[in-house]
Amino acid sequence: MSAVLFIEQVLNGLQLGVMLFLMAAGLTLIFGVMGLINLAHGSLYMVGAFAAAAVAGATGSFLLALMASLAAAAAAGAVVEVLVIRRLYARDHLDQVLATFALILIFSEGTRWIFGSFPLFLDIPAVLSGPVTLPGGIAYPKYRLAIILAGLAVAGGLYLLITRTRIGIQIRAGEADREMIAALGVDISKLYTLVFALGAALAGFAGALVGAIQSVQVGMGEPVLILAFVVIVIGGIGSIKGAFVGALLVGMTDTLGRFLLPGLFGLMMDPSAATTVGSALASMLIYVLMALVLLVRPTGLYGTA
């Protein structure tokens, strides 16, 4: 195994990590501030991807497509919050899971109804297509590099938003004690709608970014949703910092596991058996990681009890 291949795989892990962070940030924010488990978060990811594909198809501009994904997912999030989610804050988690699961079905069938069952086309913008040669002779796709940078920029922006702005103060206060900030005159329902729309916009953005290198199709959000839940459980539910660290951990573990494990087993058994055993174990690895983290820190890395 060469160093170049290893560094390329680390970059791949980083890229998967920041993409997962965009999903997990919204999920953990919504749980932290409102105490809501939102299974329909993956549907907002899908909404972003479909909006981007539709706008890119109509205008040919990737930038417009990205903006459309943010707008569409935020709007879908706000509408869903006002119509459905608002009624669930006082209910227990089981009711929330049931209602948001119903939302998944509604979003999926609604999308199928509008766009049909066949995957849509969303391409990488011409400026970002093809590979770029990094120092050390590593050829890496420009677009993936752009995803890493965009994800890190969003993480930085989110950090500033939460630590340095008035809205950030309200969000943190809302996490700590929601009755108190309502008593202090903050319009809590408006804040909730805003946070939900923000989380939705992040998911939609992730969907559009990833849609360009994967397939834009109904049901694309659910596999990512499961990973995002693993991320926030590892990071500590409600913690943005935890989501960031957890996302990078999961991204690295998954990518490097898929790449290294079959080779590792290859040292002890014949190649085709090693491939089978290695791939099977690699697909479990992030769950093993989650179990280990929970064993040591039952509330996750940055969770508060």
Binding another protein (rule: CB under 8 A), the pick from 141, 174, 238, 300 is 141
- 259 lines the binding site for another protein (CB under 8 A): yes
Contacts of 124 (CB under 8 A, 6+ apart): 62, 143, 212, 213
- 280 lines the binding site for another protein (CB under 8 A): yes
* Distance in angstroms between the alpha carbons of the first and the last residue of the chain: 43
Looking at beta carbons only, is 16 or 85 nearer to another protein? 16
CB of 171 to another protein, least distance (A): 31
Binding another protein (rule: CB under 8 A), the pick from 62, 107, 143, 205 is 143
CA–CA separation, 146 and 105 (whole Å): 32
Spell out, one character per residue from 96 to 135, where the chain touches another protein: x when CB under 8 A holds, - when not: ------------xx--x----xxxxx-xx----xxx----
Find the binding residues for another protein in span 181-240 (CB under 8 A): 210, 212-220, 223
CB of 223 to another protein, least distance (A): 6
Looking at beta carbons only, is 117 or 185 nearer to another protein? 117
* Secondary element (H or E) of residue 33: helix 3-34
* Secondary element (H or E) of residue 139: strand 138-141
Burial 287-305 (b: 16+ CB within 10 A, else e): eebbeebeeeeebbbbbee
- 57 lines the binding site for another protein (CB under 8 A): no
Helix, strand or coil, per DSSP, at residue 132: strand
Contacts of 99 (CB under 8 A, 6+ apart): 84, 85, 88
Looking at beta carbons only, is 14 or 88 nearer to another protein? 14
Contacts of 139 (CB under 8 A, 6+ apart): 8, 131, 132, 133
Task: List residues binding another protein (CB under 8 A).
Answer: 1-2, 4-5, 8-9, 12, 15-16, 108-109, 112, 117-121, 123-124, 129-131, 139, 141, 143-144, 210, 212-220, 223, 255, 258-259, 262, 271-272, 275-276, 279-280, 283
